[in-house]
Amino acid sequence: MDFEILAGFMLATAALAFSPGPDNIYVLMQSMVNGKKHGLATVAGLISGCLVHTALLAFGVSAVIKRSDTLFFTIKLFGAIYLIYLAYRVFKSDSDIQLQNSGMPKKSPWQLFKQGFIMNVLNPKVAIFFLAFFPGFLFSDSINTVIQFFVLGFLFMAVSFIVFGLIAILAGYIADFIKGNSRVGLYLKWLQILVFVGIAVYILISDK
């Protein structure tokens, strides 16, 4: 088992979780409008949805790995290209972080949990991202690949929950910091670009 690969995976996950995106901005806004408890319920729903994507990836890609080295390389090549595409999308996007909470309806923690779960499970972009991100971080030649994908999935969920949970708990401070520092969006934008490109390069040079 290569713990350096796992450490790199967790570091990349944390960097991506901190980068502004629809999910963490949604968590931030729910916490600001409804309070920390509601923000954490949203986080729990979003993270729970990742388990579905992890299971689909684990059983689907593991079968491909057993069948063909060429197919597995094709998946990794697709992943690298997709991550470069995401980096390009971020590069072309506006670096300003928009915090609009006007008109956001108030919901119970259970409603927010369900909404977060459904948002994640039904989002095809999450499935595509998992397919692009995970295969390059298989960390053992002896452990079953299904187990490895589940380990990566649970690590992704744990790290993301910690980061998103901090966003929910510190929502007020984070919002004030963003509003008071006009360049923070630019720094986070380039962090996201570097992480996407770095992961893409790693996937291309990594062994099976």
> How do residues 168-196 score in pLDDT, each as one tens digit?
999 888 878 877 787 888 888 888 899 89
Please indicate whether residue 99 or residue 202 has the higher confidence score (pLDDT): 202
Residue 84, classified by CB atoms within 10 Å of its CB into exposed (0-12), middle (13-18) or buried (19+), is middle
Closest CA to 26 of 45, 13, 17, 39: 39
Q: What is the pLDDT of residue 167?
A: 93
Please report the pLDDT score of residue 204 as a whole number: 85
Q: How confident is the model at residue 106, as a pLDDT?
A: 75
Q: pLDDT class for 207, splitting at 50, 70, 90?
A: low
Q: Name the DSSP letter for residue 149.
A: H
- How many C-beta neighbours within 10 Å does residue 173 have? 9
Helix axis angle, 22-34 relative to 145-169, nearest 10°? 40
C-alpha dist (Å) from residue 39 to 18, 87, 110, 157: 16, 28, 11, 16
pLDDT for res 103: 58
Longest dimension (CA), the chain: 54
pLDDT at 206 > cutoff 80: no
Q: What is the pLDDT of residues 77-116, one digit of tens each?
A: 999 999 999 999 989 887 777 666 555 667 889 999 999 9
**pTM score of the predicted model:** 0.88
Identify the helix (H) or strand (E) that includes residue 23: helix 22-34
pLDDT at position 99 = 66
Indicate if the pLDDT at residue 134 is higher than 80: yes
Gap between the Cα atoms of 96 and 184, Å rounded: 8
Let me know: does 137 contact 2? Beta carbons within 8 Å: no
81 closest CA partner among 208, 201, 207: 201
Ranking 70-79, 91-100, 134-143 by mean pLDDT, the lowest is: 91-100
Torsion on CA atoms 99, 100, 106, 111, rounded to nearest 10: -60
SS3 of residue 102 by DSSP: coil
5: its two tokens: 């690969």
pLDDT above 90 covers a percentage of the chain that reads: 52
The rounded mean pLDDT for the chain is: 88
